[in-house]
Structure 1
Amino acid sequence: MSKVRLNVNIDSDVKERASQVFSKLGLDMTTAVTIYLNQVIQKNGIPFDLTLEKTHYTADEILGPDWREGLDAVEDEWE
């Protein structure tokens, strides 16, 4: 199998920190990237979930659907 050079631009801190993890696993950067790319092929996609954390919630999601009933009781007391 012929080999090609893959050039990527990445933050130097990310590269260093990843290299430290790979080193603890007994891997070099080339082997780690090769493992990742083979997983992309095997999974036919990114081999982990890409999700966005929900940062905005409605009052119903936080307090439950019946939270307004408590407000009605407070309003009744103020009248």
Structure 2
Amino acid sequence: MAKEATLQVRMDADLKEKAEALYRDMGTSFAEAVRIFAKQSVQENGMPFAMTANRKNTYGRLSGYANTKLAAEEDGAYEREMVGKHEKTD
């Protein structure tokens, strides 16, 4: 499969270095891990792990890394886009 698209993600430099080292130790690259994650997400038709508000599981552990400012800005974004899209076509 040809690689025809680029994905840019901003993250903490220390986190990036640790992730790169982790995947290098596993015999792959961080970029390949992202491709695997995307492929698995499509295959699962969702996140490839359970997400809940319980801090004892995957999402709960990840929620500590969430940017609450961005989450507030993104809240309702899909609905706003869909309303705007349909208003343009009417």
Do these two structures clear the TM 0.5 threshold for a shared fold by scoring above it? yes
Alignment of 1:40-79 (within 5 A): 40-53=41-54
Structure 1 vs Structure 2: percent identity of aligned residues?
A: 33
The aligned counterpart of 1:27 is 28
Amino acid paired to 1:42: Q
Q: TM-score, normalised by structure 1?
A: 0.60
Higher relative contact order (CA 8 A, sep 6+): 1
Q: How many pairs were matched up?
A: 54
Unmatched 5+ stretches in structure 2: 56-90
| Bigger Rg over Cα | 1
TM-score normalised over the length of structure 2: 0.53
Structure 1 unmatched runs, 5+? 55-79
Per-residue deviation, residues 58-78 of structure 1 (Å, max 9, x unmatched): xxxxxxxxxxxxxxxxxxxxx
Higher relative helix content: 2
Using the TM superposition, give the Cα deviation of residue 51 of structure 1 relative to its aligned residue in structure 2, in angstroms: 2.7
